[in-house]
Amino acid sequence: MRLEKILSVAGKPGLYKLITQTRTGFVAESLLDGKRITVSLRSSVSVLSEIAIYTLEEEVPLRDVFKKIQEKENGGKTSIGHKEEKIKLEEYFFEVLPDYDEDRVYVSDIKKVIQWYNILTENKITDFSSEEVASEEASEEE
């Protein structure tokens, strides 16, 4: 599964996998408990592949941040929980992304990134390459 099919729904905990589209929105399945929900088009929904983290020079796609966490943790879950103290979360994120913009990336954002990474890892969604890279690799193999 790719990040293009993983959603964050405002007001709902965790992450959701896009199942199908409907006339009035879509159906998504929770990665936490497997329950399906219907989400209207009016809901605030973010696709993980479209999210980026501010750094001092540019915006880094969330998938690249996940790759860096994955490298740091050797493919496992994070060594720090998303409910740790502010200073510990900031130190951890600084190790992962040393040039992140501390003025525009809040502790709540760091908590979400860590929590989302752990949810994805628990669900064995660990391919953080972009869709373009995946399609290029597939065409090279043919």
- Over residues 83-108, the mean pLDDT reads 96
Q: What is the pTM of this model?
A: 0.88
- Over residues 127-135, the mean pLDDT reads 66
DSSP 84-103: S-HHHHHHHHHHHSTTB-TT
Domains of the chain plus CATH, in order, are 3-48 (2.30.30), 52-122 (1.10.10.1650)
- Over residues 80-98, the mean pLDDT reads 96
**133: its two tokens:** 């890279």
Which residues lie closer than 8 Å to 35 by C-beta, 6 or more apart? 29
What pLDDT is recorded for position 132? 58
